[in-house]
Structure 1
Amino acid sequence: MGRVEVIAAGAVTKQVSGRLSVPTRGRGFTDITAEAAAFVRESGLRHGQLTLFCRHTSASLTIQENADPDVRTDLLAALDRLAPRDRPYLHHAEGPDDMPGHIRTMLTDVALTVPLVEGRLALGTWQGIYVVEHRDRPHRREIALHVMGA
């Protein structure tokens, strides 16, 4: 079993909420790591957690590799296989990309939590935070941010 190191302990003393408006270019990944890190810096918190919440049903959030863009290309291809656009969806159709977008959001996630350590997001070396746009056209997506800690 691994060793557990206590970095900080204590009661939650501060909370800060905000919103991030993210323009997407259509289907694909939009990196919001820098914006999330800036929000944390501006909060002044050193230890705690950041929660991000996507306020949409055909876009989602994910933490993925930020070094090789081929990873994101392959992930989009996998989602295409899991929720194809060329299938008839009988009950809800606002366009051929809409219902597959809802399915893809359900398969991924609309909320993330990232720990804060020493005032920084505790992401791994190759991790980035992304909005995943599941619709074909560009959209403006709203992400609610909430950081709490000390």
Structure 2
Amino acid sequence: MLNLFIQHTSAALTLNENWDPDVRTDMIDALGRIAPEGSMYRHNDEGPDDMPAHVKSSLIGASLNIPITNGHLATGTWQGIWMCEFRSRAHVRSIVATIQGEEM
């Protein structure tokens, strides 16, 4: 089993459709409707995208568990691992990868 954990509160990890680029655009649009930028948040220390990034990160999640079968990630045909950046400007992000299980 592979566990991936992102060490940040304004980015996230998800396993999603990774073939059609429209899926990424639709996901960005949908999350923007759920947690739009604006002046409705109290926490805005790092700008108007600060609190919406925390909301999106909480909704998507900070970790993934993916089975490993015969030495390969057991993802579905169209699945890919997405690192979702919710801040407008570039940030350095760290992901911890841990593998658990027995060699077969």
| Matched residue, 1:98 | 50
CA distance in 1, matches of 2:20, 2:83: 17
CA distance in 2, matches of 1:128, 1:143: 16
Where structure 1 has 5 or more consecutive residues not aligned to the other structure, the ranges are 1-48
Give the strand-richer structure, 1 or 2: 1
TM-score, normalization by structure 1: 0.66
The alignment status of 1:139 with 2:96, answered yes or no, reads no
CA distance in 1, matches of 2:58, 2:100: 27
For each residue in 1:21-44, what CA deviation from the matched residue of structure 2 results, as whole angstroms up to 9, or x when unmatched?
xxxxxxxxxxxxxxxxxxxxxxxx
Q: Which amino acid aligns with 2:83?
A: V
Matched pairs, number:
101
Instruction: Choose the corresponding residue for 1:78, options 19, 22, 30.
Output: 30
Alpha-carbon shift at residue 139 of structure 1 (Å)? 1.1
Residues 59-74 of structure 1 mapped to structure 2, 5 A cutoff: 59-74=11-26
Q: Which amino acid aligns with 2:53?
A: G
The alignment status of 1:56 with 2:8, answered yes or no, reads yes
SS at 1:61 equivalent: strand
CA distance in 2, matches of 1:85, 1:60: 18
CA distance in 2, matches of 1:110, 1:127: 18
Instruction: Give the percent of matched residue pairs that are identical in Structure 1 and Structure 2.
Output: 51
Residues 107-146 of structure 1 mapped to structure 2, 5 A cutoff: 107-146=59-98
CA distance in 1, matches of 2:79, 2:92: 23
Alpha-carbon shift at residue 88 of structure 1 (Å)? 2.1
SS at 2:2 equivalent: strand
For each residue in 1:74-128, what CA deviation from the matched residue of structure 2 results, as whole angstroms up to 9, or x when unmatched?
00000000000024212x1120000000000011110000000000000000000
CA distance in 2, matches of 1:68, 1:98: 28
Where structure 2 has 5 or more consecutive residues not aligned to the other structure, the ranges are none
Q: RMSD between aligned alpha carbons?
A: 0.8
The alignment status of 1:89 with 2:38, answered yes or no, reads no
